[in-house]
Amino acid sequence: MVDEEAGVVLRARIAAAQRICVLTGAGMSAESGIPTFRDALTGLWSRFDPAQLASEEGYRADPQRVWDWYAERREGVRAAEPNAGHLALGAFARQRPGVLSIVTQNVDDLHQRAGNADAIRLHGDILADRWLERCPERGTGREACATGGAEPGRPPRCTRCGNLVRPGVVWFGEMLPPGAMEAAERAAAACDVMLVVGTSGAVWPAAGLAGAARRAGAFVAIVNPHPSDIDGEAHAVLRGTAAGVLPRILGVGVEGG
């Protein structure tokens, strides 16, 4: 089913659902003006391979270059505002507490600012800092170093051991945050309705959540202006953007949206 017929069926499914899981991707944040990872590789950064800017190896090779790229991206995140799609999800969570679980591939804080503070972040938090290496003070009985106390710089360094601060995102070759995928899989397995919003369905393991939800008995719907790699997993496909579709299918009014 597509478009209007799908919208009618989906609204009815959402109204009756006891548990709803929403997987969001880069397209949702792009509506708020945050470039996708690939789109951020423009201008000065277009000559770099992604692995040079989003891997531990790339960071160790040129910490200042990578830090400056993330500093530019962080400025964009801080300047962005939640769009009508984010706000609709926040309003829905307030109207129907305990029903909605959000799983996001995005590293910004727009879901949180829109009212979904417990969104599961599969790829980390671009505004958070953490140490590049495990703090040598951890587990020794002495107080571990705090990133907030690092010496300012590009990047900041620990004044005690020289450890570098890095952004709290998942780089190429790294594991997802502890417990994040397990929490996402539980939400997908338990839901009555699975919404997949603004993602190409090309990044795994997140792309497998729609199929897992369908096998567990959920009604799966995809909201995206373009075809995705996982459209075949959906019972319904709505060709539109998060900001244009979510307020309508969730049945909520959006202040400022």
Q: Which residues are catalytic?
A: 123
The tokens for 57 are 């190896």
Instruction: Give 130's strand partners.
Output: 166
The tokens for 224 are 């995206």
Nearest Cα to Cα of residue 219 among 18, 28, 84, 85: 18
- Angle, to 10 degrees, between the axis of helix 3-16 and the axis of helix 242-250? 50
User: Do residues 87 and 255 lie in contact, with contact meaning Cβ atoms separated by under 8 Å?
Assistant: yes
Tell me which residue has tokens 């679980």: 101
Tell me which residue has tokens 């959920």: 218
The tokens for 218 are 């959920």
Residue 82's alpha-carbon distances to 75, 108, 172, in angstroms, are 15, 10, 27
- Residue ranges of the alpha helices (H) in 99-179? 110-113
